[in-house]
Amino acid sequence: MIETFLVIGMIIVFTMLLCLYRAALGPGVYNRIAATSVIGTKAVVLLVAIGYIFERPMFVDIALLYAMLNFIGTLLMAKYLVRGEVCTA
């Protein structure tokens, strides 16, 4: 069963390389933000797969934390691009 997780992990790494092309090329800043958010979402699944390959079940906690950080980062970038500042202080 370990080989299945290894194959799934390699497919996800290949998908991340495809998204990196759009992050480097995409004209304007919005394409790049969308590509970075997609790479972050795939990183969460990659962490769960690596946790099963090395047989350490603690990687699920790190995956939960990174999912929250990625979500907040995307919302913050959207708010900054609309207003020009993050908090009015």
Residue 81 CB, nearest approach to other proteins (Å): 5
Over its C-alpha atoms, the chain yields an Rg (Å, rounded) of 16
Residue 89 CB, nearest approach to other proteins (Å): 21
Maximal CA-CA distance, the chain = 54
- Give residue 57's identity as a one-letter amino acid code: P
Return the residues of window 44-83 that contact other proteins according to CB under 8 A. Answer: 44-45, 48-49, 52, 57, 60-61, 63-64, 67-68, 71, 74-75, 77-79, 81-82
| Phi, then psi, of 22 in degrees rounded to 5 | -70, -30
Which residues, 6+ apart, have CB-to-CB distance to 9 below 8 Å? 46, 49, 50, 53
Residues forming contacts to other proteins in the complex (CB under 8 A) are 1, 4, 8, 11-12, 15-16, 18-19, 21-22, 27-28, 30-31, 33-35, 37-38, 41-42, 44-45, 48-49, 52, 57, 60-61, 63-64, 67-68, 71, 74-75, 77-79, 81-82
